Amino acid sequence: MTAARVTYLVEQAQQQMGRGQVDMAIATLTEALGLDPNVARAHALLAVCLRDRNRLTAAALEAGAALAGAPQDPFSHYAAGAVHEARREWRQAEQHYQTAIELAPEADWTRRGLGRLYLVWGRLRDAKPWLDAACEADPEDAANLATLAHWHLESGDAARAEAIAREALRIDPHESEALVVLGYAVLRQGRVDEALEHAAWAVQNDPSDRATLSLLVAVKMRKNPLTGLWFRFATFIGSGSSTRMVLLLVGMYLAVRVASMALGDFGQPGAANAVNFIWLGFCVYTWFAPMLFQRALRKELEQVRLRPDY
């Protein structure tokens, strides 16, 4: 009877996670482990849930328990990889995801995990083949499409990201990553009001998710005259690889220096000084604006009040 109850609770928790009800899933898994603390699958699922709530120390303990109980289970390694990824321990995460792929070579979610790791790691070129492989293995999995849309967003193709995110939401209207990617994609295309609608939809799905709240704050920052310029600049600079970002920033600095020197050589010291002061002001602005963003995000996080069904 106990075993059947535990199996039921674990399956229920998986369904709750699929609906974005992370806090309910945590409660369900805690109940399951209270009945039987040796269920590795429950520990692994709980690790992923705690990772989603940024409770990384507890998540690491649960991932360790899952691996101890089922060292050859691919999902135990997937959960461990997810926790290491959240802790920005890239190499350890990579090892666990690769092990998960070796243990379940036909699974789509193992490939998506490794692709997502490379995506957040900034290794866009390495991420794409794994995300394509995940979509090929299961083209009807909304999570696969959502992560692929995220890749296109980070690569600077907001229109393509929007199209794939919409396809993911056609399959699963509650897919949280697709909702967030769609919001950012339309925001980058200047459709601020539409982005706000998607942000509100995503918050309704999971009001505690940090990525969702970040989207909501980004929309607010974009509508704010003081921070809107910074958001456009950050979007332009951050779209693409890290090499592109470095080249753009270095190019901007060199352009300012060349313009300043040229104006000085042509007998325009006042104009040269003006260029330098404008550049200095812009640097101060780009340093100050992210602080406003983080402060606004902290306020949103502090104001979170879970709905009764969460």
Q: Please tell me the total number of residues recorded for the chain in this structure.
A: 310
Does the pLDDT of residue 271 top 80, yes or no? no
Task: Over range 87-102, report the average pLDDT.
Answer: 96
- What is the per-residue pLDDT for 193? 84
Does the pLDDT of residue 269 top 60, yes or no? yes
- What is the per-residue pLDDT for 257? 77
Reported pTM: 0.73
- What is the per-residue pLDDT for 150? 96
Does the pLDDT of residue 288 top 70, yes or no? no
Of 118, 153, 120, the closest CA to residue 133 belongs to 118
What percent of the chain shows pLDDT beyond 70?
A: 78
* Average pLDDT for the chain: 83
Give per-residue pLDDT as tens, 212-262.
777 777 777 666 655 555 556 555 555 555 666 667 667 777 777 777 787
Give per-residue pLDDT as tens, 174-198.
888 999 999 999 988 888 888 888 7
CA 220, CA 192: separation in Å to the nearest integer? Answer: 9
- 34-43, 123-132, 205-214, 281-290: lowest mean pLDDT where? 281-290
Residue 310 pLDDT level (bands cut at 50, 70, 90):
very low
Residue 305 pLDDT level (bands cut at 50, 70, 90):
very low
